A = this chain, B = another copy of it.
Amino acid sequence: MLITNIGELTTNVGPSTGSGTQTHEDGTLHDAAVLIEDGLISWVGPSASSGAQGGSGAQSTPAADEIVDAGGRAVIPGFVDSHSHIVFGGDRAAEFEARMAGQKYAAGGIRSTVAATRRASDGELRARVRGFLDEMLAQGTTTVEIKSGYGLDVETEQRLVRLAAEVTDEVTYLGAHVVPAEYANRSDAYVDLVIGEMLDACALHAKWIDVFCETGAFSVAQSRRVLQAGIGRGLKPRVHASQLGPGEGVQLAIELGAASVDHGTYLTDDDVAALAASDTVLTLLPGVEFSTRQPYPDARRLIDAGVTVAIACDTNPGSSFTSSMPFCIALAVRDMGMTPGEAIWAATAGGAAALQRSDIGVIAPGARADLVLLDAPTRVHLAYRPGVPLVQRVWKDGASVWRKG
């Protein structure tokens, strides 16, 4: 299949011709075409003005069985959402409403989601996850990482990683999300469970090990135990850190070679310098700051220092119930100091880097054919037209999986 007449193609490969990202090359092509074969991208080049040209020479458009005319609109790589918590029961709409009204909300918080998740059947959770995935696809997200962490007991955590593994390769075991009520004031005993019986039950279904390293959740020493135990079982580390205040989680993540440290709302200059000198990605989650009225981290400071930055939604019923990568891009541009080009790089190639993947997040020969056609002439419109559903069509592994209308 050939997608032709692409007005603006963001490849994330090669030099930029736009006014986009400073530190990452976004490889913008105009009047471009993309050839897809067997679920992979096989050729990227200029769009032919007529379909009559054959496949001779690197610069002429190859022939194809099926031709899709992009109508001069923009095409970008499918979004890579590298941080989500979409296997859970219930919602917390009343808690959100109280928070927005500046009121205290006594009931439950995360514990109410844990209770609802433990109660939910596999079938209920599966239907919920598939609903979120459909919603994400319709918004251009073709790869989603999914964390456990609303079970917090051996049986439920195993159910959550198993259900996640039914729909994505990017499964994260987050038994160390918070200390459950049963272990109040016995957090070390809960960590023993997380790295013992619970890890035994979950490791087979997961690729990643994650921990919420923050005052009120797990200490640096506890976080180190969790991550090292996971690494010992072949899981790769990633870390929630510096969401609510500065801490040592970022340094721990770098020390253990984590693929990504997520949140980073409160980073010290030392944190930023260490991130810039490392291979660890800093994943920004602007939906959290939007829905909790926390201050936004300064992406400009990170990018200018040379940190690799990703954007993800952190879809969860407490702090960020958006699943919209375009919405998060608009926030990153308005409130975090990113250019539209940088934000879209962070939501595609950046997310791929945060998952240590080179087969997604780019439009280049050999990459998976995960592409999004926008109902707009440029990618800038994703920030310029906030809230508007601009995703016109989505391909995943070369298959047309969603189209508008």
Residues of A within 8 A of B (CB): 19, 91, 93-94, 96-97, 100-101, 135, 138-139, 287, 290-291, 293, 321-324, 326-328, 330, 333-334, 339-340, 377-378, 380-381, 383-389, 405
Contact = CB atoms under 8 A, between A and B. Distances in A.
B100 A387 contact: no
Contact of A388 (B96, B101, B139, B339): B139
Nearest to A328: B387
Contact of A93 (B96, B327, B381): B381
Nearest to A387: B327
Given A290-B334, A334-B290, A334-B293, A322 B97 contact: no
Contact of A386 (B327, B333, B377): B327
A386 B100 contact: no
A324 B381 CA distance: 14
Contacts of A405: 138
A279 B268 CA distance: 53
Contacts of A100: 333-334, 339-340, 383
B381 A339 contact: no
Contacts of A333: 100
A396 B380 CA distance: 32
A293 B296 CA distance: 14
Contacts of A321: 381, 384-385, 388
Contacts of A101: 339
Contacts of A138: 389, 405
Given A293-B334, A334-B290, A334-B293, A97 B386 contact: no
B93 A324 contact: no
A97 B334 contact: no
Given A101-B339, A139-B389, A290-B334, A96 B384 contact: yes
B385 A322 contact: yes
A225 to B, nearest CB: 36
A321 to B, nearest CB: 5
A193 to B, nearest CB: 32
Contacts of A94: 19, 380
B287 A386 contact: yes
A96 B382 CA distance: 11
Nearest to A324: B387
A383 B96 contact: yes
Most buried by B among A135, A321, A385: A385
A97 B21 CA distance: 12
Given A96-B383, A97-B384, A324-B386, 4 more contacts: A93-B381, A139-B387, A324-B389, A327-B327
Nearest to A93: B380
Given A293-B334, A334-B290, A387 B326 contact: yes
A380 B290 contact: no
